[in-house]
Chains A and B, each alone.
Chain A
Amino acid sequence: MDFRFTPEEIAFRQEVRDFINRELPPATREHMLRGKSPTKEMVVEWQRKLNARGWATPEWPVEYGGPGWTPAQKYIFREELQMAPAPQPLAFNVNMCGPVIIAFGTEEQKKRFLPRMANLDDWWCQGFSEPGAGSDLASLKTRAVREGDYYIVNGQKTWTTLAHWADWMFMLVRTDPNAKKQEGISFLLVDMKSPGITVRPIITIEGGHEVNEVFFDNVKVPVENLVGEENKGWDCAKYLLGNERFGQARVGASRERIRRLKALAAETLDGGRPLIEDPDFRRRITEIEVELKALEMSVMRVIARETKRRDTKPDPTTSVLKIKGTEIQQAVSELLMKAAGPYAWVDGDPDAEGSNEWDVAPDWAFGLAGIYFNWRKQSIYGGSNEIQRNIMAKAFLGL
């Protein structure tokens, strides 16, 4: 038992940190330090720099351009990006669709899509959820009917993150309506410029546009865009969801936000004294820090196990990481808003530029309430925290 990073891993961390310090555009860092999501241009620019360095696809095997990192290195890399803060390589491309194509796709598909995914020449979005298929994903209804060399797709996807920026969508469709729920589903790759696709924005409670509804009206998808076998798409979906082992913990991101929170609370007065000196407030921060330390060690345990595992079965303890990771992020976002006090009142999309033009609040306070509102999504998406508890009860406790 040795719970510390090796000297090689510590050297690797420094290498990553040096690269970020040298290459990350200061405007991107400034933008993200304020808690805003990076713009499309920022993400694309950064991912291309990572790709040039061979670091855009940490999860991919070396033969497909992955860097050949150990789980610990992958974790360190992610954590350094979160702490910088810098954009992550686009998850839809490199953590979700890419690995599915590598595992189930044809040589044709690999050649055609993977290099463009890595370089973010194509922006991908995920077409899974539907109005009637949220937690119960397998009840999805969007239909694909084969006609000659095409599938004709009809139906609706929802909560599609950044579909309005996307060039392609990977989606689950029902190809056999008579089979048992999970057995009639296929995994398709769809060009977002195809006729018959309509993307309609969903504005979330904080005022931001991140998610969309996507409608499919007789959309023609060439059969060569089917990944894996017809009606075996659920295997791809399970594989994709099971790949997410420690990504949702986001320990580095929470640590960066706590650092920010402490700095802001030191500048803000409460009762004539810095807010950080208020014992109750400080205690609330400390409670979160303790949970975060435990979570960090939980992530290490999953990584250590990961290093030795051979199979790709999902690990039920990753549910712990999802639940705790999102609870912590939500709690930090709430304290950040609280730190701003009444200055959190100013309405507006937190990601928009120049929204504090009348100088009614300190610059740093703008958008903190919006982020708090927006981050309530975290315990809902990626398998809601209640679904995670179901998984734990069934897969782990045998209840």
Chain B
Amino acid sequence: MDFDLTEEQSLLVDSLRRLLTDRYSFEQRKAYMKSERGWSEEMWQAYAEMGLLGLPFAEEEGGFGAGLTEVCLVAEQMGRHLTLEPWFPTMVLGAGFLRHAAPPELRRELVPQIASGALKLAFAQTERQARYDLHDVATSAKRHGEEWVINGRKGMVLHGDSADRIVVSARTAGARRDRAGIGLFLVDARHPGMTIRGFRTVDGGRAAEIEFDNVPGIPLGDPEGGLPIIEHVVAEAIAALAFEAVGCMDVAHHMTVEYMKTREQFGRPIGSFQALQHRAADMLIALEQARSMSYYAVQAALEEDPEERRRGAAAVKVQIGRSARFVGQQSIQLHGGIAMTMEYACGHYFKRLTMNDSIFGDADHHLRALAEEGGLVRAA
């Protein structure tokens, strides 16, 4: 057991921390949000120069051969600064599908482009009726000779409006909610059959509604056995989201405690009041439990057995979601009115934490799922 960072990991975290401290202050972030795409092209290039965008790919394919732990460490820093770039959909979701399911020659073609910052990815999954169910897929993929053609509609595609290539889940066989018969396909976002409507999300990010009208796609893995791959990538994504949430919570909590030391009412700092001290301590408990759970998230995502992995990921979502809700809500409450304002950073962390919880299923969804599967501990 070792919770210390290796030298390479420390180097990675330190250089990213320096970059974001210099160039991702809250004020700078506001400017990035107001720009045309809603995020910073320059920062994206800076990530590429740092090597962040090739991180999880094998070296022989043009990457840096890092693992999930490194990706998660990056996610935590991204969370601390509420970054707006399409890092998560490209490096966690898109890259995950390429790593687990793309033929090597496709990876050799795409990875150098991704690593250089030229190619961004997204994952089109949710449909109007599906809510959080990964297996509820109506969008269809049909085979015409050598070619697969996709028709249907996907929603809430994170950064779907800036992606160059999009991984889409589509039904190749069976009924809408069957676990079998789902395929994964890589499509070109610029194909004329694509209609992409981008919009702003509550956390200041971007997402898109996408219609597929006879769009050709390259199959990633078994065209009828895509669900296990989706679940695997989602387990990794849940680990990254956990780290990101811990980064957000840590900043929100710290900000709150510092505010309590300086804000004076009744002639003394509000941090001297025990009722508020205990609330801050409870926030710390929630944060520490979340941090512990984020470590478990990496362990769970690396599990060989898919069922164990799924249970583990569900448990992570429950803990992180609950901690995030408590820390987020209380950071607003303990600040008071100031945190209700758009100019103050705290509320933005709260909004991101709120949205983070509902990516790939919120705490309630996963609690129900985990309970139905019999929980984590075996009966005596």
Contacts and interface: CB of A to CB of B under 8 A. Distances in A.
Interface residues of A, number: 54
Interface residues of B, number: 46
What DSSP secondary structure best describes chain B's contact surface? helix
A293 B379 contact: no
B1 interface: yes
Interface stretch (B152-160, B211-219, B278-286, B338-346): B278-286
A389 B377 contact: no
Contact of B3 (A3, A324, A392): A3
Interface in A1-51: 1-6, 9
Contacts of A308: 4
Nearest to A300: B1
B79 interface: no
Contacts of A398: 257, 261
Q: Which of A260, A291, A294 has the most CB of B within 10 A?
A: A294
A12 B357 CA distance: 39
Interface in B1-29: 1-6, 9
Interface string A270-286: 00000010010011011
A72 B2 CA distance: 11
A295 B280 contact: no
Contacts of A157: none
A320 interface: yes
A255 B1 contact: no
Given A4-B299, A263-B379, A286-B375, A295 B289 contact: yes
Interface stretch (B117-125, B228-236, B363-371): B363-371
A299 to B, nearest CB: 8
Interface stretch (B36-44, B167-175, B187-195, B269-277): B269-277
Contacts of A390: 274, 277-278, 281
B296 interface: yes
A389 B6 contact: no
A256 B378 CA distance: 10
A181 interface: no
A358 to B, nearest CB: 27
Interface string A286-329: 11011111111110110111001000000001011001100000
A324 B2 contact: no
Contact of B319 (A72, A291, A386, A397): A291
Contacts of B293: 293-294, 297
Nearest to B323: A294
A266 B285 contact: no
B318 interface: yes
A34 B52 CA distance: 54
B358 interface: no
10 contacts: A1-B2, A72-B1, A292-B377, A296-B292, A303-B1, A304-B3, A320-B288, A389-B281, A392-B281, A397-B281
Given A262-B377, A290-B370, A393-B278, 13 more contacts: A1-B2, A262-B379, A263-B379, A276-B379, A297-B293, A301-B292, A320-B284, A320-B288, A389-B277, A398-B257, A399-B260, A399-B261, A399-B280
